[in-house]
């Protein structure tokens, strides 16, 4: 049983809801243009470090004939995914020692996982389980834009709560999170150094702006709820004294934000994520 990530780094809803939006069908064309995969292919796909399963869920919609397996070492994520995501086989497993035989998959994919795993194990295992010329897709979150509505700014009580919490950076170091960060230039270079060929790069830009009329009410509300869950789970990971009060403050702020949205009182708050996608082939 390993619940390190879901209990100390990012909660189930933080990852599931944010990724459900990031991999929403509204944005699918951006991914298809870079993935360059046949939508009808009966390929075997492996997702590494799948978290609660939102990317695997999107892959099942986008490639209905594919057989998809997804692994993560966090038990809570895998249990959640098994109950909530259909059409995918979810397994607990370590990316550094994959449970599969050599030459098993046509495509392997990961989203925001590379920076946490030692590169020769991370790339070496993907190359090993890929078939000759199989496709490796590495998705990596880069610097985006975050602009909050005034009604969501941190209150003095919340600031005090965070000041009283254990230092976040120290915890990340202790848990060895993000131990192998790479720049936009280093990731493709590292893949080439580990024997991948035909490397190409691209970027998916996902703009989440609830007030933009191009988004339906349903999608706008999903954006606001995803932010609420992110904030609630973040404080929930440090349940020090005052936690219940802070939870109430957060809920009231997001209730207000939803009310403003529904009343047409525009805030134009936005969150733009930039995902770098590196695509290459396994040459053996
Ligand atoms: C930033 S999260 C991303 C999760 C998911 N890809 C998503 O975008 O929602 C990183 C994930 O990598 C997983 N992880 C980290 N090291 C791992 C390892 N050695 N083997 C398997 N999974 C690992 C964590 O449990 C976590 O779910």
Evaluate: CB of 16 within 6 angstroms of ligand 1: no
Residue found under tokens 């975050």? 146
According to the model, what pLDDT value does residue 240 have? 79
**pTM beyond 0.75:** yes
- Annotated domain spans of the chain: 4-282
Round to whole Å and give the CA distance between 81 and 49: 12
Which pair of tokens denotes residue 276? 């770098």
Euclidean distance between the first and final Cα of the chain, in Å?
35
Distance of CA 51 from the midpoint of ligand 1 (Å): 6
Question: Nearest 5 degrees, angle CA 114-CA 162-CA 238?
Answer: 65
Residue 56 to residues 51, 74, 85, 128, 187: CA-CA distances in angstroms? 9, 16, 8, 21, 22
Evaluate: CB of 81 within 6 angstroms of ligand 1: no
The pLDDT-based confidence of 173 (bands split at 50, 70, 90) is confident
Evaluate: CB of 22 within 6 angstroms of ligand 1: no
According to the model, what pLDDT value does residue 1 have? 84
| 182-191 LR contacts (CB < 8 Å, sep 24+) | 182/114, 182/115, 182/140, 184/142, 184/276, 187/114, 187/138, 187/140, 187/276, 187/278, 188/278, 188/280, 190/119, 190/123, 191/123, 191/136, 191/138, 191/278, 191/280
According to the model, what pLDDT value does residue 176 have? 86
Is the confidence at residue 64, as pLDDT, over 90? Answer: yes
Evaluate: CB of 74 within 6 angstroms of ligand 1: yes
CB 232 within 8 A of CB 250: yes
User: How much of the chain, in percent, has pLDDT values that exceed 70?
Assistant: 100
Distance of CA 56 from the midpoint of ligand 1 (Å): 13
Evaluate: CB of 6 within 6 angstroms of ligand 1: no
The β-bridge partners of 253 are: none
Is the confidence at residue 172, as pLDDT, over 90? Answer: no
According to the model, what pLDDT value does residue 93 have? 97
- What is the overall mean pLDDT for the chain? 96
Is the confidence at residue 71, as pLDDT, over 80? Answer: yes
Distance of CA 38 from the midpoint of ligand 1 (Å): 26
Is the confidence at residue 200, as pLDDT, over 80? Answer: yes
Determine the residue of 113, 138, 206, 229 to mutate for testing ligand 1's pocket, defined as the one with the most ligand atoms within 8 A of the Cβ atom: 113
Q: Which atom of ligand 1 is nearest to the CA of 93?
A: 21
The pLDDT-based confidence of 284 (bands split at 50, 70, 90) is confident
Evaluate: CB of 57 within 6 angstroms of ligand 1: no
The pLDDT tens digits of the residues spanning 135-168 come to 999 999 999 999 999 999 999 999 999 988 888 7
CB 30 within 8 A of CB 204: yes
The pLDDT tens digits of the residues spanning 111-130 come to 999 999 999 999 999 999 99
The pLDDT tens digits of the residues spanning 16-43 come to 999 999 999 999 999 999 999 999 999 9
Q: Is the dihedral of CA 146, 47, 7, 21 positive or negative?
A: positive
β-strands 44-48, 105-111 pairing: parallel
The pLDDT tens digits of the residues spanning 222-280 come to 999 999 999 999 998 877 778 899 999 999 999 999 999 999 999 999 999 999 999 99
Evaluate: CB of 266 within 6 angstroms of ligand 1: no
Q: Closest residue (by CA) to atom 4 of ligand 1?
A: 51
Phi, psi of 270 (to 5 degrees): -150, 150
Round to whole Å and give the CA distance between 166 and 161: 10
Evaluate: CB of 5 within 6 angstroms of ligand 1: yes
Residue found under tokens 């997702």? 47
Q: Which atom of ligand 1 is nearest to the CA of 52?
A: 9
Average pLDDT over residues 54-71: 98
Is the confidence at residue 79, as pLDDT, over 90? Answer: yes
Domain with residues 4-282, CATH architecture: 3-Layer(aba) Sandwich (3.40)
Average pLDDT over residues 75-95: 98
Evaluate: CB of 116 within 6 angstroms of ligand 1: yes
Distance of CA 180 from the midpoint of ligand 1 (Å): 13
Residues 6+ apart with CB under 8 A from 23: 31, 54, 55, 57, 58
Q: Which atom of ligand 1 is nearest to the CA of 74?
A: 25
């Amino acid at each position: 049983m390993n619940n390190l990530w879901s209990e100390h780094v990012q909660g189930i809803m933080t990852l599931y809801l944010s990724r459900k939006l990031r991999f929403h069908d509204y944005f699918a064309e951006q991914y298809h243009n870079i993935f360059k995969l046949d939508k009808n292919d009966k390929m075997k796909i492996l997702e590494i470090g799948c978290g609660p399963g939102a990317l695997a869920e999107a892959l099942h919609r986008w490639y209905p004939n594919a057989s998809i397996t997804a692994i993560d070492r966090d038990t809570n994520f895998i249990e959640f995914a098994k109950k909530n995501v259909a059409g995918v086989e979810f397994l607990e497993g370590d990316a550094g020692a994959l449970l599969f035989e050599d030459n098993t998959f046509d495509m392997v994919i990961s989203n925001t996982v590379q920076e946490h795993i030692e590169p020769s194990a991370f790339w070496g295992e993907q190359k090993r389980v890929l078939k000759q010329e199989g496709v490796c897709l590495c998705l990596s979150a880069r610097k985006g834009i975050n602009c909050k509505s005034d009604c969501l700014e941190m209150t003095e009580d919340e600031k005090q709560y965070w000041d009283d919490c254990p230092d976040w950076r120290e915890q990340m170091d202790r848990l060895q999170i993000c131990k192998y960060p790479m720049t936009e230039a280093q990731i493709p270079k590292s893949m080439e150094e580990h024997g991948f060929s035909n490397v190409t790069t691209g970027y998916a830009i996902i703009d989440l702006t609830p007030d933009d009329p191009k988004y339906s009410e349903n999608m706008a509300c999903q954006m606001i709820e995803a932010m609420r869950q992110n904030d609630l789970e973040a404080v929930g990971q440090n349940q020090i004294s005052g936690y219940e009060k802070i939870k109430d403050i957060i809920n009231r702020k997001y209730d207000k934000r939803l009310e403003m949205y529904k009343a047409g009182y525009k805030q134009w708050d936005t969150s733009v994520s930039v995902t770098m996608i590196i695509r290459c082939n396994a040459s053996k």
